[in-house]
Amino acid sequence: MTRSTPHPGAQSAPAPEPLSAQEIEGIRADFPYLARPARNGEPLAYLDWAATSQKPLGVIAAEEDFYRRSNGAAGRSTYQLADEATSAWEDAREAVAGFVGARPGELVFTKNATEALNLVALAIGHASAGRGAASGALTRDAADPARRLAIGPGDEVVVSRAEHHANLVPWQELCARTGAALRWLDLDPQGRIDLGTLGVISERTRVVALTHASNVTGAITPLERILPRAREAGALVVLDTCQSAAHLPLDFAALAAAGVDAMVLSSHKMCGPTGIGALVATEDLLEAMPPVLTGGSMIEVVTMTSSTYMSGPARFEAGSQPLAQAAGWRAAVDYVGRIGLDRLHATETLLAGRLLEGLERTPGVRLLGPHDTRERLGVVAFTIEGVHPHDVGQVLDAAGVAVRTGHHCAQPIHAHAGIHASSRASLGPCSTVGEVDRFLSAVTDVRRYFQR
């Protein structure tokens, strides 16, 4: 098995060393979920990190500590608690932005990554309505940055067949509202982007919205081949990094230089709390985007007949914010940063190789993604001949192994594979060789159980 190679946005560094077994055990000691047994009384082998990550003690403590000591109305008063709440909010913005190589002024907090994607799509729709849905011939260096947001009949939005529904449905809705057409990059038999379909990015393309890594196949999108085409078209590029940001070191400055305008993050997949995510976007794009949600906190002057809005991230952060969750997310990126995403990825790559090889040796198992670790994450979807994925999940659960079953909010990629659902194992900071081997043993038992 070969390791993943560099890609746009990945921070360059010497080949990292995988974590030692002793280091992994030290990490596992920080996660309280491991203290409770699985359904069968044995230690839980949690292999559903792609759906949601478990939380280390420091993250739980940070969220609790905010409520205990610093709970106040951020940005609204000058008393001590309010000042501390404001500081916690902005410190979290700086920490999360820095974790992905962005500036604080480029990060908008949202309630999740789905909201962040909808925020961009809705802002484009609002901008288009304001311009009568007449985009004209747009270029990246147009004098009016807002012109890049205008979209209408004759224009096109490009996605891929590998998208999570959160990065597909908002663009379907945008096209339905504006009269634009939806196009997509297709996939090869192993679920990788079929570069033979790059021709769908054309002079009509106004938006290219892509997953950075599939939550079904684990395949990493070949940005180095796609971004030049998008830049030539003058298209706005939106990247869904919910999977990659949790497993790969990212550098938004490098991605932006290569042509990415925005990317979205999900705290709960990065060892952080639920209920908070982020849009990371260039300052030019944030300045051009009209607000989507309006109300308190994002305004400058309000009269009975009109309002003016703040600039930067604040323009998109209306209302009360998830302050405690932000404090927890800051603790999460600090925690993962101390371990090193590069070392975590190297470790997960080795484990993924063991997992893939074991599944390939198991009769009746079909892998949905790439069969090697080249340009992929430790996310492995599979089916077992003659067994429904939900039954697979139940048998594994009885063996103390937790995996995801269903369509994983990605029905089109399953349709591409000719199936409706699959089972999926995914790796994280606490994953071990022993857990992978328990999983493989349980998969063998699944087929034996249903053949009786």
| Pick from 276, 277, 275, 287: nearest CA to 313 | 287
- Residue that has been written with the tokens 């198991």 in this structure: 362
Catalytic center residues: 409
CA-to-CA distance for 202 and 230, rounded, in angstroms?
A: 8
Backbone angles phi, psi at 107, to 5 degrees: -115, 120
Written as six digits, the tokens of 284 are: 């030019």
Contact present, 218 and 424 (Cβ < 8 Å): no
Residue 418 backbone class (left: φ over 0; alpha: ψ -120 to 50; beta: rest): left
Whether the Cβ atoms of residue 143 and residue 116 lie closer than 8 Å to each other: no
